[in-house]
Amino acid sequence: MAKQLIRVVAAVIEREGRYLITQRNPTAVLPLLWEFPGGRVEDGESETQALVREVKHRIGSEVAVFEKLGDHFHEYEAYDVLMSMYACALPRGADPAPVGVNDVRWVSSEELERYEFPPADQSSMSKLLGVTN
């Protein structure tokens, strides 16, 4: 039987040389790991619509979605994930808060390696930012 393919989107939000990352809730799948804000694309929804909805749900802010930075496919044991990453920006003066996540942080690309990311996020992030662990 074919595994389920889950489509997810992630917002790469950069401000003054730092990237916004969020920490998954303790009750989430892959609890307390860090990731770029985003989430699952629902049926009938575009990737952009999903990104706007998920970012608002996670950090309580609107987000402007710009160009697609790339796709990354990752196989987990029980399902597969296709992650699409987009360059995004928060409105001027927006202050992201941990609304639907455990925590939010602004970190430099050098600091990213200090945070534990889910495997799909880690490999796509490494490719995107040229970061190696």
3-41 confidence digits (pLDDT tens)? 899 999 999 999 999 999 999 999 988 899 999 999 999
User: What is the structure's pLDDT at 127?
Assistant: 66
Please give the torsion angle defined by the CA atoms of residues 19, 8, 117 and 25, in that order, rounded to the nearest 10 degrees. 90
User: What is the structure's pLDDT at 133?
Assistant: 40
Domain spans of the chain, in order of start: 4-129
Strands 18-23, 34-35: pairing is: antiparallel
Domain 4-129 in CATH: superfamily?
A: Nucleoside Triphosphate Pyrophosphohydrolase (3.90.79.10)
Query: Which stretches within the chain are classed as H helix?
Result: 47-59, 119-129
Mean pLDDT to the nearest integer, 123-133: 60
Mean pLDDT to the nearest integer, 57-85: 92
Q: Record the pTM.
A: 0.89
Backbone dihedral region for residue 27 (phi beyond 0: left; psi -120 to 50: alpha; all else: beta): alpha
Residue 67 to residue 24: CA distance in whole angstroms: 25
Higher pLDDT, 123 or 56: 56
pLDDT digits (tens, 9 = 90+) for 81-120: 999 999 999 999 999 999 999 999 999 988 988 999 887 7
